[in-house]
Structure 1
Amino acid sequence: MTIEVDDVSPGGSPILVHSREKDFTPAQGESHIEEISAHIERHLGPISGVFHEIISDIVHIDVHVVPATDECPYLRLVTSGMSDLPMSVPDEVDAPRHMELMVTLPADWPITQDAFEDERNYWPVRLLKTLARLPHEYDTWLGFGHTIPNGHPSEPYAPGVGFDGAIVLPPVTTPDDFGTLALEDGTTIEFMAIVPLYPEEMDLKLKKDSETLLDRFDAKNIQDVIQPGRTNVAKKRFGLF
Protein backbone atom coordinates (compact mmCIF):
# COMPACT_ATOMS: atom_id res chain seq x y z
CA MET A 1 0.00 0.00 0.00
CA THR A 2 1.32 3.46 -0.88
CA ILE A 3 0.23 6.51 1.06
CA GLU A 4 0.41 10.24 0.74
CA VAL A 5 -0.68 12.13 3.83
CA ASP A 6 -2.59 15.39 3.88
CA ASP A 7 -2.11 17.55 6.98
CA VAL A 8 -3.99 15.95 9.85
CA SER A 9 -6.13 18.43 11.74
CA PRO A 10 -6.57 18.40 15.54
CA GLY A 11 -10.04 16.97 14.90
CA GLY A 12 -8.60 14.01 13.05
CA SER A 13 -8.92 14.66 9.32
CA PRO A 14 -8.58 11.49 7.27
CA ILE A 15 -5.24 10.42 5.86
CA LEU A 16 -5.53 10.02 2.13
CA VAL A 17 -3.88 7.29 0.11
CA HIS A 18 -1.81 8.20 -2.93
CA SER A 19 1.92 7.74 -3.44
CA ARG A 20 5.11 8.13 -1.44
CA GLU A 21 8.00 10.22 -2.73
CA LYS A 22 10.66 9.65 -0.05
CA ASP A 23 13.61 7.41 -0.81
CA PHE A 24 14.36 4.43 1.41
CA THR A 25 16.32 5.55 4.48
CA PRO A 26 17.86 2.83 6.68
CA ALA A 27 17.00 3.20 10.36
CA GLN A 28 19.78 4.02 12.80
CA GLY A 29 18.54 1.69 15.54
CA GLU A 30 16.30 2.15 18.55
CA SER A 31 17.44 4.76 21.06
CA HIS A 32 15.19 3.93 24.01
CA ILE A 33 14.29 0.25 23.63
CA GLU A 34 15.52 -0.71 27.10
CA GLU A 35 13.58 2.08 28.83
CA ILE A 36 10.46 1.30 26.79
CA SER A 37 10.75 -2.43 27.54
CA ALA A 38 11.13 -1.72 31.26
CA HIS A 39 8.10 0.60 31.15
CA ILE A 40 5.99 -2.07 29.44
CA GLU A 41 6.97 -4.74 31.94
CA ARG A 42 6.50 -2.43 34.92
CA HIS A 43 2.89 -1.61 33.98
CA LEU A 44 1.62 -4.44 31.74
CA GLY A 45 3.60 -7.54 32.70
CA PRO A 46 6.52 -9.63 31.44
CA ILE A 47 7.36 -9.45 27.74
CA SER A 48 7.33 -12.95 26.27
CA GLY A 49 8.87 -12.05 22.91
CA VAL A 50 9.58 -9.34 20.37
CA PHE A 51 8.81 -9.28 16.66
CA HIS A 52 11.96 -7.73 15.21
CA GLU A 53 12.21 -6.07 11.83
CA ILE A 54 14.88 -7.38 9.49
CA ILE A 55 14.91 -4.35 7.19
CA SER A 56 13.76 -0.99 8.56
CA ASP A 57 12.90 2.24 6.75
CA ILE A 58 13.58 5.52 8.66
CA VAL A 59 12.77 4.03 12.08
CA HIS A 60 13.21 0.49 13.38
CA ILE A 61 9.84 -0.75 14.63
CA ASP A 62 9.72 -3.73 16.96
CA VAL A 63 6.54 -5.18 18.47
CA HIS A 64 6.66 -6.40 22.07
CA VAL A 65 4.33 -9.23 23.11
CA VAL A 66 2.79 -9.19 26.58
CA PRO A 67 0.65 -12.30 27.22
CA ALA A 68 -2.56 -12.26 29.21
CA THR A 69 -2.30 -12.57 33.00
CA ASP A 70 -4.74 -13.15 35.84
CA GLU A 71 -4.82 -9.38 36.39
CA CYS A 72 -5.24 -8.59 32.67
CA PRO A 73 -7.06 -11.16 30.52
CA TYR A 74 -5.83 -9.63 27.25
CA LEU A 75 -2.84 -10.00 24.96
CA ARG A 76 -0.92 -6.75 24.40
CA LEU A 77 1.22 -5.81 21.41
CA VAL A 78 3.27 -2.64 21.94
CA THR A 79 5.67 -0.92 19.55
CA SER A 80 9.09 0.51 20.22
CA GLY A 81 11.07 2.65 17.80
CA MET A 82 8.31 4.98 16.62
CA SER A 83 9.38 7.46 19.31
CA ASP A 84 13.00 7.57 18.13
CA LEU A 85 12.06 10.54 15.95
CA PRO A 86 9.63 13.35 16.78
CA MET A 87 6.46 13.58 14.73
CA SER A 88 5.83 16.68 12.62
CA VAL A 89 3.29 18.26 14.94
CA PRO A 90 2.42 21.86 13.95
CA ASP A 91 3.97 24.43 16.31
CA GLU A 92 0.56 25.80 17.27
CA VAL A 93 -0.77 22.38 18.30
CA ASP A 94 -0.32 21.11 21.87
CA ALA A 95 0.13 17.39 21.23
CA PRO A 96 2.75 14.72 21.92
CA ARG A 97 5.78 14.72 19.60
CA HIS A 98 6.96 11.23 20.58
CA MET A 99 4.60 8.27 20.53
CA GLU A 100 4.38 4.50 20.66
CA LEU A 101 1.31 2.46 19.74
CA MET A 102 -0.39 -0.63 21.10
CA VAL A 103 -3.22 -2.99 20.30
CA THR A 104 -5.11 -5.14 22.79
CA LEU A 105 -6.29 -8.57 21.64
CA PRO A 106 -8.21 -11.50 23.11
CA ALA A 107 -5.93 -13.73 25.17
CA ASP A 108 -6.13 -16.59 22.68
CA TRP A 109 -5.28 -14.59 19.55
CA PRO A 110 -2.88 -16.74 17.44
CA ILE A 111 0.57 -15.12 17.25
CA THR A 112 2.83 -17.94 16.04
CA GLN A 113 4.79 -17.70 12.80
CA ASP A 114 2.53 -20.30 11.22
CA ALA A 115 -0.59 -18.43 12.36
CA PHE A 116 0.75 -15.23 10.79
CA GLU A 117 0.70 -16.88 7.38
CA ASP A 118 -3.02 -16.15 7.57
CA GLU A 119 -3.67 -12.42 7.21
CA ARG A 120 -6.74 -12.80 9.43
CA ASN A 121 -4.31 -13.37 12.30
CA TYR A 122 -1.51 -11.04 11.22
CA TRP A 123 -3.39 -7.84 10.35
CA PRO A 124 -3.21 -6.23 13.84
CA VAL A 125 0.60 -6.51 13.72
CA ARG A 126 0.72 -5.09 10.21
CA LEU A 127 -1.56 -2.24 11.30
CA LEU A 128 0.66 -1.41 14.27
CA LYS A 129 3.85 -1.35 12.21
CA THR A 130 2.27 0.63 9.37
CA LEU A 131 0.88 3.34 11.65
CA ALA A 132 4.05 3.52 13.76
CA ARG A 133 6.09 4.33 10.65
CA LEU A 134 3.49 6.52 8.95
CA PRO A 135 4.23 9.90 10.63
CA HIS A 136 7.93 9.63 9.77
CA GLU A 137 7.39 8.54 6.19
CA TYR A 138 5.03 11.39 5.38
CA ASP A 139 6.13 14.20 7.73
CA THR A 140 2.82 14.22 9.59
CA TRP A 141 1.58 13.24 13.04
CA LEU A 142 -0.90 11.08 14.87
CA GLY A 143 -2.90 12.16 17.89
CA PHE A 144 -6.12 11.69 19.83
CA GLY A 145 -9.09 11.04 17.54
CA HIS A 146 -7.14 10.84 14.30
CA THR A 147 -8.62 8.32 11.89
CA ILE A 148 -6.73 6.40 9.23
CA PRO A 149 -8.54 4.48 6.46
CA ASN A 150 -7.01 1.30 5.08
CA GLY A 151 -6.35 2.51 1.55
CA HIS A 152 -8.22 4.77 -0.83
CA PRO A 153 -10.87 3.61 -1.27
CA SER A 154 -10.65 1.80 2.05
CA GLU A 155 -10.80 -1.97 2.17
CA PRO A 156 -10.99 -4.57 4.96
CA TYR A 157 -7.74 -5.42 6.73
CA ALA A 158 -8.16 -9.10 5.88
CA PRO A 159 -10.72 -11.44 4.33
CA GLY A 160 -13.75 -11.73 6.57
CA VAL A 161 -12.69 -8.76 8.71
CA GLY A 162 -15.27 -5.96 8.77
CA PHE A 163 -12.87 -3.22 9.86
CA ASP A 164 -11.38 -0.98 7.17
CA GLY A 165 -9.94 1.88 9.21
CA ALA A 166 -8.73 2.79 12.68
CA ILE A 167 -8.81 5.56 15.27
CA VAL A 168 -6.06 6.65 17.69
CA LEU A 169 -7.24 6.77 21.31
CA PRO A 170 -5.76 6.67 24.81
CA PRO A 171 -5.66 3.11 26.15
CA VAL A 172 -8.47 2.39 28.60
CA THR A 173 -7.69 -1.19 29.65
CA THR A 174 -4.21 -0.38 31.01
CA PRO A 175 -3.09 1.12 34.32
CA ASP A 176 -3.24 4.93 34.29
CA ASP A 177 0.52 5.30 34.67
CA PHE A 178 1.21 3.33 31.50
CA GLY A 179 0.17 6.14 29.17
CA THR A 180 3.25 8.34 29.64
CA LEU A 181 6.97 7.58 29.90
CA ALA A 182 9.37 10.38 30.86
CA LEU A 183 12.92 9.55 29.75
CA GLU A 184 16.11 10.69 31.43
CA ASP A 185 17.06 12.78 28.38
CA GLY A 186 13.91 14.88 28.80
CA THR A 187 11.88 13.17 26.08
CA THR A 188 8.29 12.26 26.95
CA ILE A 189 6.70 9.33 25.12
CA GLU A 190 2.93 8.91 24.97
CA PHE A 191 1.47 5.43 24.47
CA MET A 192 -1.76 5.37 22.44
CA ALA A 193 -4.13 2.59 21.46
CA ILE A 194 -5.22 1.71 17.94
CA VAL A 195 -8.91 0.79 17.71
CA PRO A 196 -10.21 -0.54 14.36
CA LEU A 197 -13.43 0.86 12.93
CA TYR A 198 -16.22 -0.34 10.67
CA PRO A 199 -16.92 1.83 7.58
CA GLU A 200 -20.09 3.23 9.17
CA GLU A 201 -18.18 4.17 12.33
CA MET A 202 -15.54 5.97 10.28
CA ASP A 203 -18.29 7.87 8.45
CA LEU A 204 -19.99 8.79 11.72
CA LYS A 205 -16.76 10.14 13.18
CA LEU A 206 -15.97 12.19 10.07
CA LYS A 207 -19.51 13.57 9.74
CA LYS A 208 -19.88 14.30 13.46
CA ASP A 209 -16.80 14.12 15.70
CA SER A 210 -14.78 11.79 17.90
CA GLU A 211 -16.95 12.44 20.94
CA THR A 212 -20.07 11.23 19.14
CA LEU A 213 -18.34 7.98 18.25
CA LEU A 214 -16.90 7.54 21.73
CA ASP A 215 -20.30 8.12 23.31
CA ARG A 216 -21.60 5.25 21.18
CA PHE A 217 -18.66 3.11 22.29
CA ASP A 218 -19.41 3.87 25.95
CA ALA A 219 -23.08 3.02 25.49
CA LYS A 220 -22.11 -0.43 24.15
CA ASN A 221 -19.19 -0.88 26.58
CA ILE A 222 -16.69 -1.08 23.71
CA GLN A 223 -13.15 -0.46 24.91
CA ASP A 224 -9.80 -0.77 23.14
CA VAL A 225 -9.87 -4.57 22.81
CA ILE A 226 -10.00 -5.75 19.19
CA GLN A 227 -12.99 -8.07 18.93
CA PRO A 228 -13.75 -9.19 15.36
CA GLY A 229 -17.51 -9.22 14.90
CA ARG A 230 -18.17 -6.76 17.73
CA THR A 231 -21.23 -4.51 17.64
CA ASN A 232 -21.13 -1.82 14.95
CA VAL A 233 -22.15 1.28 16.92
CA ALA A 234 -22.98 3.30 13.77
CA LYS A 235 -24.99 0.67 11.95
CA LYS A 236 -28.15 2.19 10.53
CA ARG A 237 -31.37 1.15 12.21
CA PHE A 238 -34.77 2.09 10.89
CA GLY A 239 -33.08 4.34 8.35
CA LEU A 240 -31.35 6.48 11.01
CA PHE A 241 -27.96 6.49 12.73
Structure 2
Amino acid sequence: MTNEYSKSGDPIYRYKDKETGWRPPTYGEEGWSEKIEEHMERYYGTVDSVFHEVLSDFIHIDVHHIKPSARHPYHVLFTTGMSYLPMNTPEGREDYRFAELMVCLPPEWQISDEAFKNQSNYWPVYWLKMLARLPHEHHTWLGQGHTIPNGDPAEPLADNTAMDGIILLPPIRVEAGFHTLRMNEEDSVRFYSLIPLYGEEMNFKLNKGSDALTDKFDKQGISELVDIGRKNTCKRSWFSFWKG
Protein backbone atom coordinates (compact mmCIF):
# COMPACT_ATOMS: atom_id res chain seq x y z
CA MET A 1 0.00 0.00 0.00
CA THR A 2 3.01 2.29 0.49
CA ASN A 3 6.71 2.39 -0.32
CA GLU A 4 7.46 5.19 2.15
CA TYR A 5 8.47 4.58 5.76
CA SER A 6 9.45 6.79 8.69
CA LYS A 7 12.78 6.44 10.50
CA SER A 8 10.96 4.45 13.18
CA GLY A 9 9.86 1.94 10.53
CA ASP A 10 6.19 2.93 10.39
CA PRO A 11 4.55 3.19 6.95
CA ILE A 12 3.68 6.68 5.71
CA TYR A 13 0.51 7.08 3.66
CA ARG A 14 -0.20 10.18 1.58
CA TYR A 15 -3.74 10.86 0.42
CA LYS A 16 -4.93 13.31 -2.19
CA ASP A 17 -8.18 12.71 -4.03
CA LYS A 18 -10.71 10.10 -2.99
CA GLU A 19 -10.02 6.69 -4.48
CA THR A 20 -13.71 6.06 -5.11
CA GLY A 21 -16.61 8.27 -6.08
CA TRP A 22 -19.67 9.21 -4.06
CA ARG A 23 -22.08 6.48 -3.11
CA PRO A 24 -25.18 6.41 -0.92
CA PRO A 25 -24.24 6.10 2.75
CA THR A 26 -24.63 2.95 4.80
CA TYR A 27 -26.26 3.18 8.21
CA GLY A 28 -24.92 -0.07 9.62
CA GLU A 29 -26.64 -3.16 10.93
CA GLU A 30 -29.79 -2.77 12.99
CA GLY A 31 -28.87 -2.06 16.61
CA TRP A 32 -25.17 -1.44 15.84
CA SER A 33 -25.08 2.27 16.71
CA GLU A 34 -27.33 1.73 19.73
CA LYS A 35 -24.87 -0.81 21.11
CA ILE A 36 -22.00 1.68 20.75
CA GLU A 37 -24.02 4.42 22.45
CA GLU A 38 -24.93 2.09 25.33
CA HIS A 39 -21.25 1.20 25.73
CA MET A 40 -20.21 4.86 25.91
CA GLU A 41 -22.96 5.66 28.40
CA ARG A 42 -21.89 2.75 30.60
CA TYR A 43 -18.41 4.26 31.00
CA TYR A 44 -18.94 8.01 30.58
CA GLY A 45 -22.55 8.95 31.28
CA THR A 46 -25.78 9.73 29.47
CA VAL A 47 -25.65 11.16 25.96
CA ASP A 48 -27.01 14.70 26.10
CA SER A 49 -27.29 15.47 22.39
CA VAL A 50 -26.37 14.21 18.93
CA PHE A 51 -25.04 16.31 16.07
CA HIS A 52 -26.64 14.48 13.17
CA GLU A 53 -25.02 14.50 9.77
CA VAL A 54 -27.34 15.98 7.16
CA LEU A 55 -25.48 14.96 3.98
CA SER A 56 -23.40 11.79 4.09
CA ASP A 57 -20.88 10.16 1.77
CA PHE A 58 -20.03 6.43 2.10
CA ILE A 59 -21.18 6.24 5.70
CA HIS A 60 -23.46 8.24 7.96
CA ILE A 61 -21.37 9.79 10.75
CA ASP A 62 -23.05 11.22 13.84
CA VAL A 63 -21.23 12.92 16.71
CA HIS A 64 -22.65 12.33 20.20
CA HIS A 65 -22.08 14.61 23.19
CA ILE A 66 -21.80 13.58 26.84
CA LYS A 67 -21.67 16.52 29.23
CA PRO A 68 -19.17 16.81 32.11
CA SER A 69 -20.15 15.05 35.33
CA ALA A 70 -18.69 14.25 38.73
CA ARG A 71 -17.57 10.92 37.31
CA HIS A 72 -15.87 12.44 34.27
CA PRO A 73 -15.52 16.24 34.65
CA TYR A 74 -15.05 16.94 30.96
CA HIS A 75 -16.98 16.82 27.68
CA VAL A 76 -16.87 13.63 25.64
CA LEU A 77 -17.63 13.66 21.92
CA PHE A 78 -17.73 10.35 20.06
CA THR A 79 -18.66 9.03 16.65
CA THR A 80 -21.06 6.40 15.47
CA GLY A 81 -20.74 5.34 11.87
CA MET A 82 -17.04 4.76 11.30
CA SER A 83 -17.52 1.11 12.22
CA TYR A 84 -20.49 0.58 9.89
CA LEU A 85 -17.95 -0.63 7.33
CA PRO A 86 -14.73 -2.61 7.91
CA MET A 87 -11.41 -0.87 7.31
CA ASN A 88 -8.76 -2.28 5.00
CA THR A 89 -6.36 -3.51 7.67
CA PRO A 90 -3.04 -5.24 6.91
CA GLU A 91 -2.75 -9.00 7.09
CA GLY A 92 -2.77 -10.11 10.71
CA ARG A 93 -4.69 -7.03 11.84
CA GLU A 94 -8.17 -8.26 10.96
CA ASP A 95 -9.31 -7.82 14.58
CA TYR A 96 -8.82 -4.05 14.12
CA ARG A 97 -11.13 -3.59 11.13
CA PHE A 98 -13.80 -1.73 13.12
CA ALA A 99 -13.23 1.46 15.12
CA GLU A 100 -14.91 4.56 16.48
CA LEU A 101 -13.32 7.83 17.55
CA MET A 102 -13.71 10.13 20.52
CA VAL A 103 -12.29 13.33 21.95
CA CYS A 104 -12.30 14.62 25.53
CA LEU A 105 -12.59 18.39 25.99
CA PRO A 106 -12.28 20.58 29.11
CA PRO A 107 -15.54 21.65 30.81
CA GLU A 108 -15.20 25.26 29.63
CA TRP A 109 -15.21 24.21 25.96
CA GLN A 110 -18.19 25.71 24.13
CA ILE A 111 -20.34 23.04 22.51
CA SER A 112 -23.39 24.13 20.53
CA ASP A 113 -24.40 24.80 16.95
CA GLU A 114 -23.76 28.49 17.52
CA ALA A 115 -20.36 27.92 19.15
CA PHE A 116 -19.32 25.65 16.29
CA LYS A 117 -19.44 28.59 13.89
CA ASN A 118 -16.04 29.42 15.43
CA GLN A 119 -13.31 27.09 14.17
CA SER A 120 -11.57 27.27 17.55
CA ASN A 121 -14.56 25.41 19.00
CA TYR A 122 -15.46 23.28 16.00
CA TRP A 123 -12.17 21.64 15.01
CA PRO A 124 -12.62 18.55 17.26
CA VAL A 125 -15.94 17.77 15.53
CA TYR A 126 -14.43 18.36 12.10
CA TRP A 127 -11.56 15.97 12.85
CA LEU A 128 -13.85 13.31 14.29
CA LYS A 129 -15.96 13.30 11.14
CA MET A 130 -13.06 13.63 8.71
CA LEU A 131 -11.01 10.83 10.26
CA ALA A 132 -14.03 8.56 10.68
CA ARG A 133 -14.61 8.77 6.93
CA LEU A 134 -10.96 8.73 5.79
CA PRO A 135 -10.33 4.94 5.85
CA HIS A 136 -13.41 4.29 3.75
CA GLU A 137 -12.63 7.02 1.24
CA HIS A 138 -9.05 5.86 0.74
CA HIS A 139 -9.35 2.10 1.24
CA THR A 140 -6.99 2.15 4.24
CA TRP A 141 -7.20 1.95 8.03
CA LEU A 142 -6.60 3.91 11.23
CA GLY A 143 -5.46 2.52 14.56
CA GLN A 144 -3.45 3.06 17.71
CA GLY A 145 -0.43 5.32 17.27
CA HIS A 146 -1.41 6.58 13.83
CA THR A 147 -0.67 10.27 13.30
CA ILE A 148 -2.29 12.69 10.88
CA PRO A 149 -0.88 16.19 10.18
CA ASN A 150 -3.16 19.11 9.44
CA GLY A 151 -2.09 19.47 5.83
CA ASP A 152 1.28 19.27 4.09
CA PRO A 153 2.96 21.38 5.31
CA ALA A 154 0.99 21.17 8.54
CA GLU A 155 -0.89 24.22 9.80
CA PRO A 156 -2.31 24.89 13.30
CA LEU A 157 -5.59 23.17 14.07
CA ALA A 158 -7.12 26.53 15.04
CA ASP A 159 -6.16 30.13 15.76
CA ASN A 160 -5.88 29.48 19.50
CA THR A 161 -3.28 26.69 19.40
CA ALA A 162 0.08 25.93 17.79
CA MET A 163 -0.66 22.20 17.62
CA ASP A 164 -0.93 21.03 14.03
CA GLY A 165 -1.63 17.30 14.01
CA ILE A 166 -3.43 14.41 15.68
CA ILE A 167 -2.39 11.07 17.16
CA LEU A 168 -4.87 8.27 17.86
CA LEU A 169 -4.43 6.56 21.23
CA PRO A 170 -6.62 4.53 23.59
CA PRO A 171 -8.00 6.71 26.40
CA ILE A 172 -6.38 6.21 29.81
CA ARG A 173 -8.81 8.17 32.04
CA VAL A 174 -11.43 5.43 31.89
CA GLU A 175 -12.09 2.12 33.59
CA ALA A 176 -10.65 -1.13 32.28
CA GLY A 177 -12.84 -2.93 29.80
CA PHE A 178 -13.79 0.14 27.80
CA HIS A 179 -11.39 -0.02 24.87
CA THR A 180 -12.92 -2.93 22.95
CA LEU A 181 -16.61 -3.65 22.41
CA ARG A 182 -17.60 -7.10 21.20
CA MET A 183 -20.39 -6.67 18.65
CA ASN A 184 -20.93 -10.31 17.69
CA GLU A 185 -19.01 -13.58 17.55
CA GLU A 186 -16.65 -12.25 14.87
CA ASP A 187 -16.43 -8.46 15.13
CA SER A 188 -15.22 -6.00 17.77
CA VAL A 189 -15.10 -2.20 17.75
CA ARG A 190 -11.98 -0.43 19.07
CA PHE A 191 -12.15 3.08 20.53
CA TYR A 192 -9.42 5.68 19.99
CA SER A 193 -9.03 9.20 21.34
CA LEU A 194 -7.91 12.13 19.23
CA ILE A 195 -4.95 13.82 20.92
CA PRO A 196 -3.54 16.98 19.29
CA LEU A 197 0.21 17.18 18.70
CA TYR A 198 2.81 19.86 18.16
CA GLY A 199 4.91 19.57 15.02
CA GLU A 200 8.00 18.60 17.03
CA GLU A 201 6.03 15.77 18.65
CA MET A 202 4.86 14.56 15.26
CA ASN A 203 8.44 14.49 13.99
CA PHE A 204 9.63 12.74 17.15
CA LYS A 205 7.00 10.04 16.70
CA LEU A 206 8.00 9.52 13.07
CA ASN A 207 11.66 9.20 14.07
CA LYS A 208 11.37 7.26 17.33
CA GLY A 209 7.92 5.64 17.25
CA SER A 210 4.68 6.13 19.15
CA ASP A 211 5.86 4.25 22.26
CA ALA A 212 8.70 6.74 22.74
CA LEU A 213 6.25 9.63 22.42
CA THR A 214 3.75 8.16 24.87
CA ASP A 215 6.62 7.69 27.34
CA LYS A 216 7.11 11.45 27.18
CA PHE A 217 3.37 11.96 27.64
CA ASP A 218 3.40 9.73 30.73
CA LYS A 219 6.25 11.72 32.29
CA GLN A 220 4.36 14.99 31.71
CA GLY A 221 0.96 13.63 32.78
CA ILE A 222 -0.57 14.15 29.34
CA SER A 223 -3.74 12.18 28.68
CA GLU A 224 -6.62 12.23 26.21
CA LEU A 225 -8.07 15.36 27.87
CA VAL A 226 -7.32 18.11 25.36
CA ASP A 227 -5.27 21.07 26.61
CA ILE A 228 -4.64 23.45 23.72
CA GLY A 229 -1.96 25.32 25.68
CA ARG A 230 -0.11 22.35 27.16
CA LYS A 231 3.65 21.96 27.21
CA ASN A 232 5.36 20.79 24.04
CA THR A 233 7.08 17.59 25.19
CA CYS A 234 9.60 17.62 22.33
CA LYS A 235 10.60 21.27 22.08
CA ARG A 236 14.19 21.86 23.14
CA SER A 237 15.00 24.88 25.25
CA TRP A 238 17.61 27.46 24.28
CA PHE A 239 19.73 26.11 27.13
CA SER A 240 19.68 22.60 25.67
CA PHE A 241 20.73 23.96 22.26
CA TRP A 242 23.61 25.84 23.91
CA LYS A 243 24.74 22.66 25.68
CA GLY A 244 24.60 20.80 22.38
Q: Is the 8 A contact 1:168 1:192 kept in 2?
A: yes
1:116 aligned partner, one-letter code: F
1:121 aligned partner, one-letter code: N
Separation in structure 1 between the aligned mates of residue 25 and residue 185 of structure 2, nearest angstrom: 20
- 3-state SS of 1:158 partner: coil
Deviation at 1:12, TM superposition (A): 4.6
Separation in structure 1 between the aligned mates of residue 151 and residue 192 of structure 2, nearest angstrom: 22
CA distances 1:88-128 after superposition (whole Å, capped 9, x unpaired): 00123465110001001101210111110100000011011
Separation in structure 2 between the aligned mates of residue 81 and residue 6 of structure 1, nearest angstrom: 27
Deviation at 1:209, TM superposition (A): 1.0
Separation in structure 2 between the aligned mates of residue 75 and residue 225 of structure 1, nearest angstrom: 9
Separation in structure 1 between the aligned mates of residue 135 and residue 75 of structure 2, nearest angstrom: 26
Separation in structure 1 between the aligned mates of residue 185 and residue 133 of structure 2, nearest angstrom: 23
Change (3 A) 1:69 1:8: farther
Deviation at 1:6, TM superposition (A): 4.9
- 3-state SS of 2:47 partner: coil
Matches within 5 A, 1:31-46: 31=29, 32-46=32-46
Separation in structure 2 between the aligned mates of residue 7 and residue 169 of structure 1, nearest angstrom: 25
Deviation at 1:206, TM superposition (A): 0.6
- 3-state SS of 1:49 partner: strand
Deviation at 1:195, TM superposition (A): 0.7
**After TM superposition, which residue ranges in structure 1, 4 or more long, deviate above 3 angstroms?**
5-15, 92-95
Matches within 5 A, 1:180-195: 180-184=180-184, 186-195=186-195
Change (3 A) 1:212 1:123: same
Separation in structure 1 between the aligned mates of residue 114 and residue 205 of structure 2, nearest angstrom: 36
Partner residue in 1 for 2:24: 26
Separation in structure 2 between the aligned mates of residue 125 and residue 215 of structure 1, nearest angstrom: 27
- 3-state SS of 2:64 partner: strand
Deviation at 1:158, TM superposition (A): 1.5
2:236 aligned partner, one-letter code: K
Partner residue in 2 for 1:129: 129
In our comparison, the structure showing a higher alpha carbon Rg is 2
Q: Which runs of 5+ in 2 are unaligned?
A: none
2:114 aligned partner, one-letter code: D
Moved more, 183-192 or 158-167: 183-192
1:205 aligned partner, one-letter code: K
Q: Is the 8 A contact 1:12 1:146 kept in 2?
A: no
Partner residue in 2 for 1:112: 112
Count of matched residue positions in the alignment of Structure 1 and Structure 2: 237
Q: Is the 8 A contact 1:74 1:105 kept in 2?
A: yes
Deviation at 1:17, TM superposition (A): 4.2
Matches within 5 A, 1:57-96: 57-93=57-93, 95-96=95-96
Separation in structure 1 between the aligned mates of residue 184 and residue 231 of structure 2, nearest angstrom: 43
RMSD of aligned C-alpha atoms? 2.1
